[in-house]
A = this chain, B = another copy of it.
């Protein structure tokens, strides 16, 4: 089932749950199963889905927290944590003022944005060689 086929509920019960969180949890489980079997990675843009605060809290609680936390400072901060299920990561992007501007679940051994990128490694290597030449 693709993310676009997740059945969307709009009626909130008294607990604030719309019914969408459990559909997303099932989709995440399918994605993790695909990652385990085939290595295929995936992501869900939580902001693109009609989730209530109670839905997000329910989803976050079910997925739990794992061993790894990552913080990145680019143009605003990003906070990433591994969930209790290795291969499922929860990612929150903030703007420079600290307001949340994006929230994703990524299903992958490591979220794409974390490893050093090839171009940056090449530029870093050149800079470090300059530094070393200056030290001599």
Partner of A128, one of B32, B67, B72, B127: B32
Number of copies: 2
If A116-B82, A132-B29 touch, does A36 touch B125 (CB 8 Å cutoff)?
A: yes
Give chain A's interface residue range (CB within 8 Å of chain B): 35 or more
Q: How far is A116 from B81 in the complex, measured between Cα atoms in Å? A: 12
| A86 contacts B by Cβ under 8 Å | yes
Q: How far is A110 from B114 in the complex, measured between Cα atoms in Å? A: 8
Contacts of A1 in B (CB 8 A): none
Which A residues are within 8 Å of any B CB, using their own CB? 22, 25-26, 28-29, 32-33, 35-36, 62, 67-74, 82, 84-88, 108-110, 114-118, 120-125, 127-129, 131-132, 135
